[in-house]
Amino acid sequence: MTQNLEKMPKGSFERITIDAEQSERISKPSMSFWQDAWLRLRKNKGAIVSIILFTLIVIMSFLGPIISPYEPNAQTITHANLPPKIPVIENLGILDGYGTLGGQKMDIYELKNVEVNYWFGTDGLGRDMFSRLWKGTQVSLFIAFVAAAIDMLIGVIYGGISGYFGGRVDDIMQRIVEILTGIPNLVVVILFILIMDPGIVAIIIALTITGWTGMSRVVRGQVLKYKNQEFVLASRTLGASDSHIIWKHLMPNVLGIIIINTMFTIPGAIFFEAFLSFIGLGLQAPDASLGTLINDGYKLLQFQPHILAFPAILLSLIMICFNLIGDGLRDALDPKMKD
């Protein structure tokens, strides 16, 4: 054995020493919280597909009314109640302009002498469903985003103040929230809609009047958790002002939770808007939202199922997208779940 070793050419082995510096070296690039979150979110197929799908829906809601040759509110009575007809796809036997009339299946377009195509058909007043659908999506999304943004703003400020200053301020502010959350959301929304002129503003105010309490509780809880931790104490000892601590130290930590919570507020707002429209408290004609379109469609379900189908599918898709994006973001941003 030893002889064999001696036979080996010199320089086959090299003496190495353990370098303390080396073992402490960080071999992978260090990542910020957001890069890390993005990496985790990217692995979530459902969330990524939802983000892409939702982006497409938003783009279409602006593009839809423009590319359609018809105005969302323009009525052409002679073109009323037409089933959907899309060129190319009509050859597949679906969306081909056929509908049942008096128990028989026939080409309604031929019957009514309509030369043009309505991609998603028309309603009882001869309005183009395609442009109405996208216009309605625009309105629904607008209501949901504005309501969620207001909820977020009030909730963060209220919860932040309550949690950060604590003591008596916190006590009083929390008692108010406790009473407010005791009132069922449904009741508040309906009552407020009743006393205001129906419309987008009324719906947004009704949705936000107690909607912010959820966000304020979450933010308060987080602020309470972080405000006594060492890094905040250190900053305070070094003479940092309240606003510096809030913006530079607390906010970045609470931001993840705020984003997650907002992602779940938005589908809630979309649902409530549609719900109100469905029971007749939403937007007034001729304005359309997904809710009013579903309401109109429901009345004609037996004879014109397409009028219900398109807005119902789109509404459900948007809700599914938001829930999946919300789930994905929660998994990505919540460090507790870190694997």
What's the one-letter identity of residue 280?
Answer: G
Q: How far apart are CA 259 and CA 263, in angstroms?
A: 6
Q: Which of 255, 300, 323, 334 touches other proteins (CB under 8 A)? A: 323
Which range, of 5-13, 138-146, 227-235, 320-328, touches other proteins by CB under 8 A? 320-328
Q: Which of 294, 329, 332, 333 touches other proteins (CB under 8 A)? A: 294
Q: Does position 129 bind other proteins by CB under 8 A? A: no
Q: Does position 285 bind other proteins by CB under 8 A? A: no
Q: Does position 312 bind other proteins by CB under 8 A? A: yes
Which range, of 1-9, 96-104, 296-304, 328-336, touches other proteins by CB under 8 A? 296-304
In which element (H, E) is residue 276 found? helix 251-278
Q: Which residues contact 318 (CB under 8 A, 6 or more apart)?
A: 54, 57, 137, 140, 141, 267, 270, 290
Q: Does position 171 bind other proteins by CB under 8 A? A: no
Task: Evaluate whether 97 touches 84 at the Cβ level (below 8 Å).
Answer: yes
Question: Kind of pairing, strands 104-107 and 98-101?
Answer: antiparallel
How is residue 122 annotated by DSSP? Answer: B
Which residues make beta-bridge pairs with 122? 128
Distances (CA, A) of 219 to 57, 211, 233, 253: 31, 14, 19, 10
Q: Does position 165 bind other proteins by CB under 8 A? A: no
The nearer residue to other proteins, 124 or 198, going by C-beta atoms, is: 198
Q: How far apart are CA 38 and CA 295, in angstroms?
A: 39
Q: How far apart are CA 80 and CA 286, in angstroms?
A: 16
Shortest Å distance, C-beta 230 to other proteins: 21
- Sketch the per residue contact string, 84 through 113, with other proteins: x for CB under 8 A, - otherwise: ------------------------------
Q: Does position 57 bind other proteins by CB under 8 A? A: no
Q: Which of 110, 171, 178, 242 touches other proteins (CB under 8 A)? A: 178
* Nearest by Cα to 132 from 311, 319, 315: 311
Tell the burial category of 146 from Cβ atoms under 10 Å away from its Cβ (0-12, 13-18, 19+).
Answer: middle
Q: Does position 199 bind other proteins by CB under 8 A? A: no
The nearer residue to other proteins, 89 or 94, going by C-beta atoms, is: 94
Q: Which of 11, 103, 167, 182 touches other proteins (CB under 8 A)? A: 182
Q: Which of 52, 183, 201, 233 touches other proteins (CB under 8 A)? A: 183
Q: Does position 246 bind other proteins by CB under 8 A? A: no
Q: How far apart are CA 270 and CA 191, in angstroms?
A: 18
Q: Does position 166 bind other proteins by CB under 8 A? A: no
* Nearest by Cα to 49 from 271, 321, 327: 321
Q: Which of 133, 258, 315, 333 touches other proteins (CB under 8 A)? A: 315
Q: Does position 281 bind other proteins by CB under 8 A? A: yes
The nearer residue to other proteins, 123 or 126, going by C-beta atoms, is: 123
Q: Which of 47, 129, 274, 293 touches other proteins (CB under 8 A)? A: 274
Tell the burial category of 80 from Cβ atoms under 10 Å away from its Cβ (0-12, 13-18, 19+).
Answer: middle
Q: How far apart are CA 319 and CA 263, in angstroms?
A: 11
Interacting residue ranges for other proteins, rule: CB under 8 A: 178-179, 182-187, 190-192, 194-195, 267, 271, 274-275, 278-281, 294, 298, 301-302, 305, 308, 312, 315-316, 319-320, 322-324, 327
